[in-house]
């Protein structure tokens, strides 16, 4: 099996279209190969960078664009984190929630959702510096 892909250039009406032979046998046609390659490269590079959101208040609703939620709320009280609806994110979307200040033992972090999380409506982070990673399967949230 070759790991190289065949690249075909087809000229139609003076413009050059490009198609790629993919592993699934699909053909991708593009009218602007340079712009599409630049966009694909940008998406690839951006996907390797994870966004970090620092929470400094007693409540926070995770945005679909968040990835890492760094909990640094250190007042004397619990922290409530709310997950977005699974319908608002793509299948496989993950969030990483961490007690970055090490206060979860005394001030638990509650992660809740309208959709279930491992069959429950909420989970607790109760150990200092503990973290959980959650993903969506399109119908519910799961800890992994």
Q: What is the DSSP string of the chain?
A: ------EEEEEETTEEEEEEE-TTS-EEEES-HHHHHHHHHHHHHHHTS--EEEE-SSEEEPPTT--EEEE---SSS-EEEEPPPGGGS-TT-EEEEEETTS-TTTS-EEEEEEEEETTEEEEEE-STT-EEEEEE-SSSEEE-
Residue 36: both structure tokens together: 């599409």
Verdict on whether the full-model pTM lies above 0.75: no
In this prediction, the residues of the chain whose per-residue pLDDT falls under 50 are: 1-28, 37-46
Tell me, yes or no, whether 62 and 125 share the same domain.
Answer: yes
Alpha carbons 18 and 30: distance in angstroms, whole number = 6
Tell me, yes or no, whether 68 and 106 share the same domain.
Answer: yes
pLDDT at position 51? 86
Tell me, yes or no, whether 73 and 110 share the same domain.
Answer: yes
pLDDT at position 12? 44
Tell me, yes or no, whether 57 and 13 share the same domain.
Answer: no
pLDDT in tens, 38-52: 444 333 334 567 889
Residues in the chain: 144
pLDDT at position 49? 78
Query: Minimal CA–CA distance to 113: which of 84, 75, 80, 70?
Result: 84
Q: Domain for residue 126, yes or no? A: yes
Residues spanned by the domain of 32? 7-47
């Amino acid at each position: 099996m070759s790991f190289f892909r065949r690249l075909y250039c087809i000229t139609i009406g003076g413009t050059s279209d490009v198609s790629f032979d993919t592993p699934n046998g699909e053909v991708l046609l593009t009218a602007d190969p340079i712009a599409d390659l630049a966009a694909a490269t940008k998406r690839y590079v951006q996907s390797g960078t994870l966004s970090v959101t620092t929470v400094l208040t007693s409540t926070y609703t995770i945005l679909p664009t968040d990835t890492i939620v760094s909990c640094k709320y250190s007042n004397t009280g619990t922290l409530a984190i709310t997950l977005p609806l699974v319908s608002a994110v793509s299948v496989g979307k993950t969030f990483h929630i961490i007690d970055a200040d090490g206060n979860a033992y005394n001030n638990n972090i509650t992660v809740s959702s309208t959709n279930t999380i491992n069959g429950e409506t909420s989970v607790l982070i109760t150990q200092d510096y503990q973290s959980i990673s959650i993903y969506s399967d399109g119908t519910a949230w799961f800890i992994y």
